[in-house]
Amino acid sequence: MSDEETPEWLKPGDDSSPSQNQKSSNNDAENFEMEGATAADGGSGANVSSSPSSPSSSKRKLCKTIYICTTSSILLALFLYAAIVQNNDPDKLVWSSYYGLLAVISAVFIVRYLFSTNITHLDKLVFFLCAVMNVWSIVFIIFISLELGKVEEEGRDKRKELIFELSGACLGLVSVIYHAILTFRCVG
């Protein structure tokens, strides 16, 4: 047996054993599976592993992916709809911008979660937009709550509109927190 045919772990000066090398390659395979980008699933994060012990974990990952993408898609649709129907509001530009940016956060998150495995600037974009929209949502909630306290009982239409605006700002805040946490925990 020549020096070229000798396995790495048998070469002189190498203290590692075959079991250590095998553990290392197993860890590499596990790390690859955890990254979620496989050619078989198109990089969707839903890994289908060939080992017999992991069908339940791949099903959990698939369910998690479906849940996360469905929730983000519903939020995206709601915010797009809210941005479009602001035509009768006196401050429609402010609210359309607000809901539009919330829709952008949902869309960028979905793209990052499903298709991009190594694009860190999308994480930074999501975090930046989440920080901006977090502050904007809190400011809206405070101002709408203060204005709601000033509206008297005879102004039912104004009160109803303020309650809708307050619920939209609260949903926006929840969406921002949701996407920031998921970007940090599941994607980033």
Give which of 24, 28, 77, 69 is closest to 46, Cα–Cα: 69
- Statement: residue 2 has pLDDT above 60: no
- Statement: residue 43 has pLDDT above 50: no
12 CB neighbour count, 10 Å cutoff: 6
Per-residue pLDDT, 32: 40
Name residue 72's amino acid: S
CA distance 51 to 9: 26
- Dihedral (Cα; 151, 155, 157, 163), 10-degree rounding: 20
User: In this predicted model, what pLDDT tens digit does every residue of 61-119 receive, in sequence order?
Assistant: 776 788 888 999 999 999 999 999 988 778 889 999 999 999 999 998 888 888 766 66
Is pTM, for the whole model, over 0.75? no
Contacts of 96 (CB under 8 A, 6+ apart): 83, 84, 86
* Helices within 85-154 (DSSP H only): 92-114, 120-150
Q: What band does 49 get if pLDDT is binned at 50, 70 and 90?
A: very low
Tokens 């790390």, located at residue = 31
